[in-house]
Structure 1
Amino acid sequence: MPESLYWILIALAIAGLLSVILEEVIHVNKAQSVLFFGALSWLLLFIFGSEAETHQRVMEGLQENIGEIASLWLFLLSAMTFVAYLNKKGLIENITYRFLPQNISERQLLLVTGLFSFVFSSLADNVTATLVSVALILSLNLSATKTLRFATVSVFAVNSGGVAMITGDVTTLMIFLADKVSIPHLLMLAGPALLAVVLLATLLARPLNDSVKIERQTNELQRVDVTIAIVFLLTIFATIAGNVLFDIPPVLSFISGLSVMFLVARAFGEDTENDPIMNYIRQIEFDTLMFFLGILLLVGSLKEIHALDSIVRIYEFLPAWAANYSMGLLSALIDNVPLTAALLKADVPMEMQDWLALTYAVGVGGSLLIIGSAAGIVAMTKINELTFGSYLRFIVALLIAYTVGYAATLALGTWIGS
């Protein structure tokens, strides 16, 4: 491949990033722009990689990239269909009203929302936790400015909650499978991660002085709605257990759960000609899926030219703790999965406590920008007020929370290693 192609692909990736940042200026939907740049990147790889050996390598890379995208798409489709059904039936609102007091201060409500997102993401994957958390936030009917604060805390909390569980974050699982950290040590990460969430909620709650009156207008739930909610929860737990015990891909577990949901609806007579259960798939915002497609195509093209491999050279110039902190900052721009894969492939020599710090950094660092994590992207496509620019207003608070959590992780690692 010509050397100029490498710079062209990097330029396209930067253009894709800028198209997301400047969406409100250029008035082009971010899903449309990144999809264009992502597809164009792979077209160029094939055009300039016409040699037989290079062509075969690019073909295998595309098939691997498409396979990853298909798994994410199907997983999102399944999870979003569950949430779309439960949200329309009012079950999420009912749960919210049952557990929240009738009168609560906005500051307390913000902290409760963060804790809910943190705990739920420890049990479920980040995408499902974000979908449920966003549905909860929207059900509160807050003003746009306050919704932004709640969404920001929720995105940070979702990423933080998943970092201590091998089923909560892909990068955590990758580092664990590489025998760099143990499960007991990973579970200890919940302490620093929770500290960071509480700190962020405290910082963002300062301007909130009002109280919220929760109107308990609960809807009467049907047996079929409760049953499908149980199927949803069982699907989450089955996904965790199946992955840990039998290495079953999460996408397969969620597709199975979705099929059970359809059959349950049919058995209860909920699947009718006037309201077919399959219609809930059409209620999914496919903008989210198209945006993921474009982003992953762009990242996949960078991975194909090994543009991410050079990043590991930072460990030659900085101590491990500083390099890991920088990796967390970088994960806000570059998908943390290929970033972590590059570090593992390079087999950077680090102690266990350093790998523990890296686990926190790449898991939580993506929260610094709205496009830096799956949780942020899903939230951005669900909440109209949440854009790259509006989220960036809280960058100082996010950076403080991330830094304090990272410092606490370093202290934890020092204690473990002593």
Structure 2
Amino acid sequence: MDIFILVVFILGYAFIALEHNIHIDKAASALVTGTVCWALFVLGWHDVPAHLAEEYHLFAADHGAGGHGGLAQFFEHRLLHHMEEISSILFFLMGAMTIVELVDAHEGFRVITDRIQTRNKVKMLWIVCILTFFFSALLDNLTTSIVMVSLLRKLIDDRQTRWLFAGMVVIAANAGGAWSPIGDVTTTMLWIGGQLTTTTIIANLILPSVVCLLVPLVALSVRLKGEIDRPVSEDEEEWDPTTPFERNLVFGAGVAGLLFVPVFKTVTHLPPFMGMMLSLGALWMLTERLHHSKNIEEKAHLTVIGVLRKIDTASVLFFLGILLAVASLQEAGHLLLAADWLRTSLDDVYLIDLAIGLLSAIVDNVPLVAASMGMYDIVPAAAVTDGWTGMFVQDGIFWQFLAYCAGTGGSALIIGSAAGVAVMGLERIDFVWYLKKISLLAVLGYFAGAGVYLLMFA
């Protein structure tokens, strides 16, 4: 039955890729794919998969479950386990989208857009990518991509040009997140797991990450010509319900709230969505007090309640479907088989990491890195016996290169990273369009950055 799960996943992947050709929204395809894959997994297994045997025995001992009924309970337990992680991502996404929309409703991004005067496409591209790169390291690649898409809508009117810039935002966000402990979820996993330390991540990965962005940025700049058409602004004489003070206050509070999330996570060790919910709640209270004296019509679109109606729910459901589908592959053992094949076939840590990075463009990088962390233990320095085991010590080459590859390889396809999926949902970017226009640039940057790392440490 596990082969049918893989077939359904591939078919669902094709439906998502051909969204505009078959006229079926990708969120619908993702939801069907995710739920059918799980249904096949539950109905097709009459015994516990070998890689889950130990967990099943622990579950049965704790819950007194056994037999077919116990197996069904265990599968439900596994699904809910994945839903914990998936829900945390979805709540994080919804919180970030709401904060960004709230700032946008107050025209807070004018603080930035009013300072970007150039209409030259090349100059604009460099400004946007550099901002994205460093914002991603400070915030994270998912939040940054959401913020930058909102900025692009204020700066660029033509959809095709905006898509091109949005594609580069994906590359820049993933490159910027790779060299920061809080910039990408996989880097954070390796950081929290003890495989990498903060100083090593920053010192050893920043240069490869910069090159990963610079190569596609220069390549695109060479063939990018002309000027940008700005969106037609509203009549300046039209009454504006927000004052400059209110705009600046909400913008400052929104950015501070987003920056607070990684700090909250570091201090409390709670999941990032908790910090995002706290920031959203605080901003909600601020805007309620800020506009309490205005009538309902004036403040209808300036409150969180009004902004929530504008949230792209389809993107959230798309995330849900994709992550459910990938989780089913993980439960069926396909990802472990892939990781094991890489280990036995390639037998080289650099090739393994490069392959994991490219594979992360097809399936989510989180379970791939999780599988790698499960397959390869941290080797104590005193236990190193040869060059191979030396690669797996804390801050070892394998873990460093894995952080870079898993963080940046997903840019090769638009559904290969959280940033890409968010941008795809917000801008409705076509999968095939991204494949034609951006994927080659992303792959060039990926291998260029990898080459720099190899020159530094191989």
Q: TM-score, normalised by structure 1?
A: 0.92
**Aligned twin of 2:192:** 177
Q: How big is the shift at 1:401?
A: 0.9
Go from structure 1 to structure 2 and tell me whether the alpha carbon gap of 1:178 and 1:215 turns closer, same or farther (over 3 Å shift): closer
**Aligned twin of 1:288:** 315
Q: Does 1:389 align with 2:418?
A: no
Matched-pair contact (CA < 8 Å) for 1:149–1:204: no
Q: How big is the shift at 1:246?
A: 2.2
The one-letter amino acid paired with 1:7 is I
Matched-pair contact (CA < 8 Å) for 1:97–1:214: no
Q: How big is the shift at 1:225?
A: 3.1
**2:81 counterpart (55, 58, 64):** 64
Q: 2-side partners of 1:212 and 1:309: how far apart? A: 47
Q: How big is the shift at 1:254?
A: 0.9
**Aligned twin of 2:49:** none
CA RMSD in angstroms comes to 2.1
Instruction: Report 1:17-416 matches (<5 A).
Output: 17-49=13-45, 51-98=68-115, 100=116, 102-188=117-203, 189-212=205-228, 221-270=243-292, 273-274=296-297, 275-276=299-300, 277=303, 278-313=305-340, 314-318=342-346, 319-347=348-376, 349=389, 350-351=391-392, 352-384=396-428, 386-393=429-436, 394-414=438-458
Q: 2-side partners of 1:300 and 1:205: how far apart? A: 39
The one-letter amino acid paired with 2:251 is A
Q: How big is the shift at 1:62?
A: 0.8
Matched-pair contact (CA < 8 Å) for 1:171–1:363: yes
Q: 1-side partners of 2:243 and 2:350: how far apart? A: 51
Matched-pair contact (CA < 8 Å) for 1:38–1:294: yes
The one-letter amino acid paired with 1:210 is G
Q: How big is the shift at 1:94?
A: 3.6
Q: How big is the shift at 1:39?
A: 1.1
Which SS does the other structure have where 1:157 is aligned?
A: helix
Q: 2-side partners of 1:310 and 1:17: how far apart? A: 20
For residues 87-128 of structure 1, give each alpha carbon's deviation from its aligned partner in whole angstroms, at most 9, with x where no partner exists: 232221341222x2x335311211111111101111112221
Structure exhibiting the larger radius of gyration computed from Cα positions: 2
Q: Which moved more, 1:183-192 or 1:341-350?
A: 341-350
Q: Which moved more, 1:66-75 or 1:229-238?
A: 229-238
Percent identity between the aligned chains? Answer: 27
Q: How big is the shift at 1:149?
A: 2.1
Go from structure 1 to structure 2 and tell me whether the alpha carbon gap of 1:53 and 1:411 turns closer, same or farther (over 3 Å shift): farther
The one-letter amino acid paired with 2:306 is N
Q: How big is the shift at 1:26?
A: 1.2
Structure 1 portions without partners, runs of 5+: none
Q: Which moved more, 1:141-150 or 1:12-21?
A: 141-150
Q: Which moved more, 1:18-27 or 1:53-62?
A: 53-62
Q: 2-side partners of 1:312 and 1:213: how far apart? A: 47
Q: How big is the shift at 1:216?
A: 11
Matched-pair contact (CA < 8 Å) for 1:91–1:221: no
Which SS does the other structure have where 1:168 is aligned?
A: coil
Q: 2-side partners of 1:267 and 1:290: how far apart? A: 32
Which SS does the other structure have where 1:205 is aligned?
A: helix
Q: Which moved more, 1:405-414 or 1:30-39?
A: 405-414
Go from structure 1 to structure 2 and tell me whether the alpha carbon gap of 1:215 and 1:65 turns closer, same or farther (over 3 Å shift): closer
Aligned length: 407
For residues 164-211 of structure 1, give each alpha carbon's deviation from its aligned partner in whole angstroms, at most 9, with x where no partner exists: 112111111111233222211100212211122121111112222224
Dislocated runs of 4+, deviation >6 Å: 213-220
The one-letter amino acid paired with 1:317 is S
The one-letter amino acid paired with 1:195 is V
Go from structure 1 to structure 2 and tell me whether the alpha carbon gap of 1:317 and 1:212 turns closer, same or farther (over 3 Å shift): same
Structure 2 portions without partners, runs of 5+: 47-67, 378-388
Q: Which moved more, 1:312-321 or 1:156-165?
A: 312-321
For residues 305-331 of structure 1, give each alpha carbon's deviation from its aligned partner in whole angstroms, at most 9, with x where no partner exists: 121101122122211111111111100
**Aligned twin of 2:63:** none
Matched-pair contact (CA < 8 Å) for 1:77–1:281: no
Q: 2-side partners of 1:238 and 1:411: how far apart? A: 36
Go from structure 1 to structure 2 and tell me whether the alpha carbon gap of 1:58 and 1:273 turns closer, same or farther (over 3 Å shift): same
Q: 1-side partners of 2:171 and 2:446: how far apart? A: 9
Matched-pair contact (CA < 8 Å) for 1:12–1:41: yes
Q: 1-side partners of 2:15 and 2:221: how far apart? A: 31
